[in-house]
Structure 1
Amino acid sequence: MSQSRSIIVFKESASMEDVRHLMDEVKQNGGHITNVYDSLFKGFAAVMSDTQLHTLQSAAKFRSSVIDYIESDGIVTTFA
């Protein structure tokens, strides 16, 4: 099963309880939380199955969703 590294960003109206609830859901389905963001924005980074990622992406499309958007997580390098 293929795995994806993603950053899930929540809407400003989302509570930290909303964030914790979704993090628990990711972990219960075999995903791993790699970072939690709560200062500049509310969200977390996770490694999860592609199936789980697609489920979150589908949920994010609903207006009532607490998810603002989902981005791929990766390493960024610069060259001078």
Structure 2
Amino acid sequence: MSGKYIVVFKDNVDQTQVDKFAKDVASNGGTVNQRYDTVLKGFSASIPDAYLQQLQSFTGSVIDYIEPDSMVTTQ
């Protein structure tokens, strides 16, 4: 099973590292949906549960946070 997440990297991470993680998501059965590189570094993706656990192990070192991707509304 997989879920949709936003993966945000720390400011000091270069684009090469972000690209590597995006390729790893794809090679582990996920799909990168959108890349972010202006306001923040990261991507949104459908990530299989098994790979999500591995990806979460990088939180605090190169990944700033991973959160569920959801609809945001304003009033």
TM-score, normalised to structure 1, is 0.85
Residue 73 of structure 1 is matched in structure 2 by: 69
Using the TM superposition, give the Cα deviation of residue 77 of structure 1 relative to its aligned residue in structure 2, in angstroms.
Answer: 3.7
Residue 58 of structure 2 is matched in structure 1 by: 59
CA RMSD, aligned part only? 1.3
4+ residue segments displaced more than 4 Å? none
Q: Distance in 1 between matches of 2:58 and 2:63?
A: 8
Using the TM superposition, give the Cα deviation of residue 76 of structure 1 relative to its aligned residue in structure 2, in angstroms.
Answer: 2.5
The CA deviation string for residues 7-61 of structure 1, in whole angstroms up to 9 with x for no partner, is 0000000000010010011111111001000000000000011111111112214
**1:1-80 counterparts in 2 under 5 A?**
2-61=1-60, 65-77=61-73
The alignment-based identity, stated in percent, is 41
Flag structure 1 segments of 5+ consecutive residues without an equivalent: none
Structure index of larger Rg = 1
TM-score, normalised to structure 2, is 0.90
SS of the residue aligned with 1:60? coil
Flag structure 2 segments of 5+ consecutive residues without an equivalent: none
Q: Distance in 2 between matches of 1:53 and 1:4?
A: 9
